[in-house]
Structure 1
């Protein structure tokens, strides 16, 4: 039994040594590249090594897979697992820290991302303006459209035919009253829901999202008409710019 056991151990060691000798050159080359990159010595890495890096990573990852399947010695497995993990971070891992990424994002990355979708933002803006115009025109021709666009609960005292004093009170009313706070919360909740729905419905070529923007801004246009009839359009625009700008964007 001891002879058989010793023979099995020797066979496994021989197989492991042969496996390592056939592939060790690639392992060492990858390790040298990884060590230099980890230390930030990029200038000392040749173009050939940089071009070979992805292929070497895949080769060593394949060696690790074979080593696991053939149950090679623990030392070889441990070495390959460590090397593959370190190489993965070099090849696919993040190139900067969280602070560096945040600094780049706030220092120009954000604006570049916005400019990158400038065409889409322009379309959304045109659709929103069109929705507000449609709401304004509908209510100006038939005030009953106002309740179809706004809903009586959200409209409150802001209805067609309301007096200028009543409408002014909704903007400049007593600060001790909670009506303005409730309406501001309704605005935030409504626009947050619209934002989430517009994002979720984007899968359908963005068409439902555009229709949603038209409907949402039609209500704003309808309410703008109500305040315009009372001579308070500028006051309403100032009020809505405070409570609605962030949600609209």
Structure 2
């Protein structure tokens, strides 16, 4: 039985080894940065050779062939995968292309979405302002209690100024900056996560978040 297994493994290797060797040579050249030296035939053959390798690996595993052969095929498959499906540029080159026009092109590609989001945010702030201007009780419905502190309808000018220009000895600005960053990050992550439902929950989130700002603007605008 051992002899038969070895014979089957040898026959399997002989039938397919030429393709494995060719693929390994191509992969090795690409790993060493010599992809430009590859012929057109080698470049075109790379995906086909990779799929053939995966097929060979599947057969080898299913038939419990030589463990050394399976390890070799798995290693070659892993190396080939990153070259077939992975990025073919260095981080430095990608970074330079990103700041050299890639960023602006990406923004322009979604400019319609950005304009919609901007319109929704402005509308949300306007809705919050109008609601609180019509009935100050809306302020308490829109603004959580832990965010309002002294910034409530009817607050004095001195109290409101104190929230903006408090004592220079305090680290209020740093605390506010940390809170602002945390809040904006949470809103951004939630807006992204809720986008799966045709972005409707994301729009509602933006409206609610900006209505809070509109309510706050009304409170300060009164003083």
Change (3 A) 1:183 1:39: closer
Q: Secondary structure at the match of 1:157?
A: coil
2:124 is aligned to 131
Larger Rg: 1
- With over 3 angstroms needed to count, the CA separation of the structure-2 counterparts of 1:138 and 1:80, relative to structure 1, is closer
Counterpart among 48, 52, 59 of residue 55 in structure 1? 48
Contact kept? 1:199, 1:209, Cα under 8 Å: yes
The aligned counterpart of 2:34 is 41
Please, which of 139, 151, 155 is the counterpart of residue 158 of structure 1? 151
| Aligned: 1:148 with 2:146 | no
Q: How many residues align?
A: 223
Distance in 1, matches of 2:97 and 2:174, equals 37
Q: 1:67 to 1:175 in 2, by over 3 A?
A: same
Structure 2 partner of 1:72: 65
* TM-score of the pair, normalised by structure 1: 0.75
After TM superposition, give the deviation of residue 30 of structure 1 in Å: 1.7
> Could you list the runs of 5+ residues in structure 1 that have no partner in the other structure?
1-7, 231-249
**1:26 corresponding residue in structure 2:** 19
What RMSD in Å do the two structures reach over aligned CA positions? 2.7
Q: Which residue of 2 aligns with 1:244?
A: none
Query: Aligned partners of 1:196 and 1:66: how far apart in 2?
Result: 44
Inter-partner Cα distance in structure 1 for 2:175 and 2:70: 64
Indicate conservation of the 8 Å contact 1:139/1:145, yes or no: yes
Work out which structure has the larger RCO, using CA pairs closer than 8 Å and 6 or more positions apart in sequence.
Answer: 2
- Deviation track 1:170-206 (CA, whole Å, cap 9, x = no partner) reads 2223223566666555544443433333223222211
